[in-house]
Chain A
Amino acid sequence: GQNIDQPTEMTATEGAIVQINCTYQTSGFNGLFWYQQHAGEAPTFLSYNVLDGLEEKGRFSSFLSRSKGYSYLLLKELQMKDSASYLCAHRDAGKSTFGDGTTLTVKP
């Protein structure tokens, strides 16, 4: 994706914790989003950060550091259904720019 970097693939074990990192470069900033996309389906919204710090939402948390251009998505107590692609996106003036996505495979 344009000026957004995230790992291509990750593998983790059911019940474990995984952290997916995202770094970005942008001149304007109006929020950092994470979306989940299962194979063959549309992306769905997971989390949003506009200020520095951690946002927690059940098993999912997202962190943002604007000065470092860095975010991560933390998934706890992994389940098989968490196997999906995770897309990092930053928004500037209403337009969202996406990374290429990280394909997470959860193994038993």
Chain B
Amino acid sequence: DVKVTQSSRYLVKRTGEKVFLECVQDMDHENMFWYRQDPGLGLRLIYFSYDVKMKEKGDIPEGYSVSREKKERFSLILESASTNQTSMYLCASTGQGKIGELFFGEGSRLTVL
């Protein structure tokens, strides 16, 4: 069974802290994505990666960075958390198959105080 695992389901951090959100997939997928989901705004793409050590900005990259040192792992980094980054963060991956649907992790709900 395919699996995308996010390291933390719930986090509470303080303004200015550095935050790491980890995501691991066991499907040997090339493509990995970080989205945030907010009420009324849907899922918005933050960053994505098509290969190891490769990253591309999504629609809302400001305030975030990413790291992809290994194919199975894609990390989202908040260098200095702010209250407007309180959100649900969803990691997803997809392979090169015919359909290429997204497989999502369970999500990490981050609260920044």
**A87-B43 contact, Cβ under 8 Å, with A42-B106, A42-B107:** yes
Residues of B within 8 A of A (CB): 4, 31, 33, 35, 40-45, 48, 50, 58-59, 90, 94, 99-107
Determine if A42 and B104 form an interchain contact, defined as CB atoms under 8 angstroms apart: yes
Secondary structure of the A contact surface, majority rule: strand
**A100-B104 contact, Cβ under 8 Å, with A94-B50, A95-B48, A95-B58:** no
Interface bin, chain A? 20 to 34
Residues of A within 8 A of B (CB): 1-2, 4, 31, 33, 35, 41-45, 48, 87, 89, 91, 94-101
Complex partner residue of B90 from A42, A100, A101, CB under 8 angstroms: A42
B35 CB contacts on chain A under 8 angstroms: 98
